[in-house]
Amino acid sequence: MAKISTRMGDGFRVELSEEEIRKDLEEGSQDAAKKGKIPPLAEEDLRRLLEIFKCPDRSVGVERGKEVILTYDSATTKFKRGNVSVSKIQSLQIYERLLGSDTLELAHIDYSYKPVKPIVVFEQPILEQALLITIAPLFYGAMPNLGLYSQPDGPCPNPGDLLPKGKIAEARASYEEQIEHSVKDMVYVASQMYEAGADGINFDTTAAAGDAEFMATLKAISILKQKHPQMCVQMGMAAEFVLGMHGELKWEGVRLAGLYPHKQLELAQKVGVTIFGPAINIVNSRSLPWNISRAVTFVKACTEMARIPIHACMGMGVCGVPLTPSVPVDALTRATKAMVDITNLDGL
């Protein structure tokens, strides 16, 4: 039987039979269902996924009328990473006028709230000028990045040094202190940029440092929504699972460690997040059918219960997009089509 060309999670090409793809689709969905305690994909969904992988075309797309909104994390830094010598405002114009972007995001090259704090007065005039000449909604974004608050980069003792010595209470105390520092920085920067005219604030790769970082971001957003009830807040997650680096932190009685995307969404909605972005890890050693089916299962659990728009994080290495710096178009468009067609996504 003819083989179907697809890829592994790291992007390398692999040829699989229809039966092998079908098996990977089922196993990927079952893995998500088991871990997240959510329903697996229905037979009809698996059949649609199989059709996407059987299509021999290089790129695929969603049906007309099913198009979604696109948001871009750290948009202006992408041009710098590509060694393109344009200013941040020019980058935004390229996104809006040449790439057909629905939304824009201004960002500092050191993409975390802490390093933005001392230079926020330089970011505000750039934002103000950009707002005069662009039309699409313009976010300001950065990462909570709790790692910057422990020694040697920050003021608090490093839990990574304390935990191997068995100093668990001290490590937890350090995380609790880090939360307070980072909340102040996030509230300050987000307030400054919103008061300068930003349409929304993006908290990107939330909970990358685990439950303490998730707690800090929820706390910051809660304060910001009291201060500016109209502020649009986008929360993009770092991974499918909140790591229990502290282990005992709770938000309104809900333990943060171990939360999967649909449970993360519940808390995001409670604190007033406007747009939520689930991020599902890629597994390099498994095929793209396995990874995409797994990611779609997790995201579908979110879209089915959401009261707010869900924008799946579909950058490199998450939500079925291979973990490779130059993502192949065949892989990317299959992940996009699968996610939009099956989950009734609001954006990506």
Partner 1 sequence: MAAAHGIAAGIGGIRAAGDLVARMQVSRGMRLKEAKQYVAGKLGISVLDITDPVVMAEVREDLGLGTVNAIPWAAKGIDAKFRIASVLGIKINCVNLFKKRVGWKA
Please, which residues have CB within 8 angstroms of residue 34's CB and are 6 or more apart in sequence?
A: none
Q: With the CA atoms of 254, 258, 260 and 266 taken in that order, what torsion angle do they form, in degrees rounded to the nearest 10?
A: 10
Query: With respect to partner 1, which residue has the nearer C-beta, 71 or 182?
Result: 71
Burial zone of 63 (CB within 10 Å; 0-12 exposed, 13-18 middle, 19+ buried): exposed
Please, which residues have CB within 8 angstroms of residue 66's CB and are 6 or more apart in sequence?
A: 340, 341
Q: How far is the CB of 308 from partner 1 (least distance, A)?
A: 5
Q: How far apart are CA 307 and CA 304, in angstroms?
A: 9
Q: How far is the CB of 178 from partner 1 (least distance, A)?
A: 30
Q: How far is the CB of 212 from partner 1 (least distance, A)?
A: 27
Query: With respect to partner 1, which residue has the nearer C-beta, 179 or 295?
Result: 295
Q: How far is the CB of 58 from partner 1 (least distance, A)?
A: 11
Q: How far apart are CA 281 and CA 341, in angstroms?
A: 20
Query: With respect to partner 1, which residue has the nearer C-beta, 159 or 317?
Result: 317
Query: With respect to partner 1, which residue has the nearer C-beta, 59 or 158?
Result: 59
Query: With respect to partner 1, which residue has the nearer C-beta, 82 or 152?
Result: 82
Q: How far is the CB of 283 from partner 1 (least distance, A)?
A: 20
Partners of residue 250 on adjacent β-strands: 255
SS3 (DSSP) at 325: coil
Query: Where does this chain bind partner 1 (CB under 8 A)?
Result: 59-62, 64-72, 78, 95-97, 99-103, 128, 131-138, 194, 196-200, 230, 232, 274-275, 306-309, 314-316, 321, 327, 329, 332-333, 336-337, 340, 344-348
Q: How far apart are CA 292 and CA 28, in angstroms?
A: 8
Q: How far is the CB of 116 from partner 1 (least distance, A)?
A: 19
Query: With respect to partner 1, which residue has the nearer C-beta, 178 or 343?
Result: 343
